[in-house]
């Protein structure tokens, strides 16, 4: 194995393989397969940080929830220390922090002096002796892992850039650019299938007073909280976006006017009952004016659907705020 990994061809092939895709999952799958080819084990997994900076399993072979404590304990130690963790029984190893068990081999993925992830092999059964890697073999393994780590880091950076291009910086909801792209796509799909497509457009009533009374930092925090409340009222398949300022919009595929009204009522009630900025020692109350429009009932194009929903929202504003208006044909 040492001879095979140390050849120029092995390194060249590894570089070609890991750069064949710019998707983190694909790079992770290659790493997991290599780990299992080098040292067969019931589970190999690649752990790295996602766009929210949370540790996540990018790819695996044989992972199951029962191995979770061992995986996270090993991955956290490897990524925080930047070196290998090889143990006969994690349960008896202080590096495990009292979590997990069994034979573990953890290999850091080092890129430009940073730890970008970890390749973890696990057998839930402990061994009599820790897996032994001589200095020469470990050097060869590190040589193969380095270009893989660089490829993974590049893939994660591309994924993050793509996510940021469609994400509102403040609320982490979709931005208006992404909303418009999805709206055009969903409009075409709805027209082809004959299924309804609804849109909600909402404005937070009295939000200007938050900025005036407590400052723009408090206003930004209130927008983040409002975004979370609105997102909690939608389905996974719905698109929730900050349209701009204190305006939000939702795209509800396969939803008729009555279904859209129910979502709007849920948002109105939760915004109305929520106490904003409580963590800052404040008691701020907000309400929402919400307009509802459905294709093909009141619109035939994406632009018309957005315009009609916006007009419906302003009708609520003019009639006293804190309410819902469903546009009708």
Question: What CATH number is associated with residue 221?
Answer: 3.30.70.270
Cis, bond preceding 296 (omega within 30 deg of 0): yes
Is 131 part of a structural domain of the chain?
Answer: yes
pTM comes to 0.60
Based on the structure, what is the number of domains in the chain? 2
CA 169-170-176 angle, to 5 degrees, is 60
In whole angstroms, what separates CA 149 from the centre of its chain? 21
Say whether both 56 and 202 belong to one domain: no
| Per-residue pLDDT at 164 | 67
Distance CA 329, CA 327 (A): 7
- Would you give the DSSP letter of residue 94? G
Say whether both 15 and 154 belong to one domain: yes
Say whether both 128 and 276 belong to one domain: no
| Per-residue pLDDT at 216 | 93
- Compute CA distances 272 → 50, 265, 267, 313, whole Å: 33, 10, 8, 16
| pLDDT tens-place values along the chain, 329 residues long | 777 777 778 778 888 888 888 899 999 999 999 999 888 899 999 999 987 778 899 999 999 989 999 999 999 999 999 999 999 999 999 999 999 999 999 999 999 889 999 999 999 999 998 888 788 888 888 888 999 999 999 999 888 777 667 788 899 999 998 999 999 999 999 999 999 999 999 999 989 999 999 999 999 999 999 999 999 999 999 999 999 899 999 999 999 999 999 999 999 999 999 999 999 999 999 999 999 999 999 999 999 999 999 999 999 999 999 999 999 97
Distance CA 154, CA 144 (A): 16
Is 87 part of a structural domain of the chain?
Answer: yes
The parent domain of residue 111 ranges over 2-165
Is 231 part of a structural domain of the chain?
Answer: yes
CATH for 141: 3.30.450.40
Say whether both 36 and 146 belong to one domain: yes
Is 171 part of a structural domain of the chain?
Answer: no
Is 139 part of a structural domain of the chain?
Answer: yes
Alpha helices in the chain (DSSP H): 2-5, 8-18, 24-38, 68-81, 135-165, 176-193, 207-214, 216-232, 257-273, 302-318
Say whether both 92 and 217 belong to one domain: no
Distance CA 148, CA 118 (A): 11
Say whether both 240 and 106 belong to one domain: no
Say whether both 49 and 160 belong to one domain: yes
Query: Bridge-partner residues for 60, per DSSP?
Result: 45
Say whether both 11 and 143 belong to one domain: yes
Question: 82: helix, coil or strand?
Answer: coil
Say whether both 159 and 227 belong to one domain: no
Is 151 part of a structural domain of the chain?
Answer: yes
Say whether both 152 and 284 belong to one domain: no
| Per-residue pLDDT at 185 | 93
Q: Domain end: 142, 165, 188, which one?
A: 165
Question: 28: helix, coil or strand?
Answer: helix
CB 292 within 8 A of CB 326: yes
Is 15 part of a structural domain of the chain?
Answer: yes
Say whether both 195 and 87 belong to one domain: no
Distance CA 307, CA 298 (A): 10
């Amino acid at each position: 194995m040492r001879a095979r990994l140390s050849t120029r061809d092995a390194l060249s092939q590894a570089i070609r393989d890991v750069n064949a895709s710019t998707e983190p999952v694909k790079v992770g799958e290659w790493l997991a397969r290599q780990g299992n080819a080098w040292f067969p084990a019931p589970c190999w997994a690649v752990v790295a940080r996602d766009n929210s900076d949370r540790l996540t399993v990018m790819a695996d072979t044989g992972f199951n929830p029962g191995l979770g404590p061992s995986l996270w304990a090993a991955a956290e130690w490897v990524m925080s220390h930047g070196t290998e963790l090889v143990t006969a029984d994690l349960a008896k190893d202080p590096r495990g922090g009292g979590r997990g068990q069994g034979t573990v081999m953890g290999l850091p993925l080092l890129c430009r002096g940073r730890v970008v992830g970890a390749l973890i092999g696990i057998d839930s059964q402990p061994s009599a002796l820790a897996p032994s890697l001589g200095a020469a073999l470990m050097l060869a393994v590190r040589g193969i892992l380095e270009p893989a780590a660089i490829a993974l880091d590049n893939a994660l950076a591309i994924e993050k850039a793509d996510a940021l291009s469609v994400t509102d910086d403040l609320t982490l909801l979709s931005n208006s650019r992404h909303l418009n792209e999805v709206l055009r796509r969903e409009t075409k799909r709805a027209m082809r299938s004959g299924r309804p497509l609804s849109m909600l457009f909402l404005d937070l009533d009295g939000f200007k007073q938050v900025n005036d009374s407590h400052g723009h930092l408090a206003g930004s925090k209130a927008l983040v909280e409002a975004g979370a409340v609105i997102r909690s009222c939608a389905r996974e398949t719905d698109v929730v976006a900050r349209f701009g300022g204190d305006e939000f919009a939702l795209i509800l595929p396969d939803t008729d006017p009555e279904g859209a009204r129910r979502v709007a009522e849920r948002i109105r009630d939760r915004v109305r009952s929520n106490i904003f900025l409580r963590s800052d020692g404040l008691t701020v109350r907000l309400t929402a004016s919400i307009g509802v429009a459905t294709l093909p009932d009141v619109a035939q194009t994406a632009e018309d659907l957005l315009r009609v929903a916006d007009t419906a929202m302003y009708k609520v504003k003019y009639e006293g705020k804190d309410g819902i208006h469903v546009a009708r044909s």
